[in-house]
Amino acid sequence: MRIKITDEMRKELSALAAKGKLTPREVKAFASRRKTSAIRQWLEAQGAYDPDKSMDRWCLELSRQLIVRVKIAQVDGAGKIHRHRAFVSLNDDRQAGRGYRAFVDVMSDDDLIVKLEATFAKELDHLQRRYDRLLSLEKYREVFDAMRRVADSKEAA
Residue 15's nearest CA partner among 34, 42, 43, 41 is 34
- In this structure, the number of other CB atoms found within 10 A of the CB of residue 90 comes to 20
pLDDT digits (tens, 9 = 90+) for 28-76: 999 999 999 999 999 998 889 998 888 988 888 898 899 999 999 989 8
What pLDDT, on the 0 to 100 scale, is given for residue 63?
A: 87
- For the chain, give every domain's residue range: 7-49, 65-156
Q: Would you call 118 helix, strand, or coil by DSSP? A: helix
| Prediction pTM value | 0.67
What are the tens digits of pLDDT across the range 126-150? Answer: 888 888 777 676 777 777 778 778 7
Q: Are 27 and 48 in contact (CB under 8 A)?
A: no
pLDDT value of residue 12: 96
Using a pLDDT cut of 70, give the percent of the chain over it: 92
**Mean pLDDT lowest for which of 3-7, 104-108, 131-135?**
131-135
Q: How far apart are CA 81 and CA 66, in angstroms?
A: 22
Mean pLDDT score, 107-124: 91
